Structure 1
């Protein structure tokens, strides 16, 4: 491992997959799509990617594979539990994909922190983008996609059709980063100012 890994996620069943900065043999399949294969033999503990990929966050997908963002290469990656890697170019150049999470619609949602957008990718690699100022993304227990707007001091939700609901944070310039669902249906976000914020459910539960 390189010592610079960030994201980690549980693989389906019993394996934990990790995004790391290693290179693997590449075979182009079509424009904007790449496929790599892990070496045969015993299951490795890591899978090499190109040195300029910058894999960042990884999450289980609805297709029993793991999906990850490549911040420096501006791609979304997919790795099967057999080590086969596919990569998909995001249409917006220099977008810097960062956070990623599986949505309730059978697709993956990701943030484009360098392009002020949220992206949606289907399991067959079709990407749709929506203009925002996102940083991290997660999905709550009801299947709602939530995101943080680091520069906008807000958290929000988005639907597959691109419709948005946003909530301003009470402390100015708090700069929300990561976000995750917590007990009781609330969402929690980590703030740059050294605090945590809790977003209560719409029904007003404590």
Structure 2
């Protein structure tokens, strides 16, 4: 559901894009590694790693989850943990975990509850070897896991619900019980196992169910429509 915060963010991103079009983009000098590290450093704003230096100067749960492990390997573990703490504090105030936190610190979903927000958020905690954050906030995470299961999983089929659409890797595509969404449930289960968090589903059964439902012998179907 669109809110005033969504509209404000849309306007902010539009203006940032407009400025970039007329002012140009920042150019970096040096070797590929020097350039990469300079960009990473510029994405650190003193509180958290923002997604980019201009248009997307906010925190995106999915994007940061994907790159968190690499950032740790590059030597940025301390800043990764600080970023996780920043996001966790914002999420705890809102009592939910969302796709995005605006530059002003407001958690929002773009554009609906996502199948991958909780999985990627817990993954970055595991990647940063920061399980102490789970211990400090175990009740919060257990509540989020229950909320996730109730919202995302069909208890009758064991797969992701097909009666609603969830945000995912392809936010612009409306898919129902996509293979990606189901894999995110499995991914969450495996991450919870590593972090010693309890899940209300059997992950081994889910793994077999995903393969049986989406694999056609040559490739995995995109969703339950089984068209591609």
Q: TM-score, normalising length from structure 1?
A: 0.26
Q: TM-score, normalising length from structure 2?
A: 0.24
Q: Which has the higher helix share?
A: 2
Q: Which has the higher strand share?
A: 1
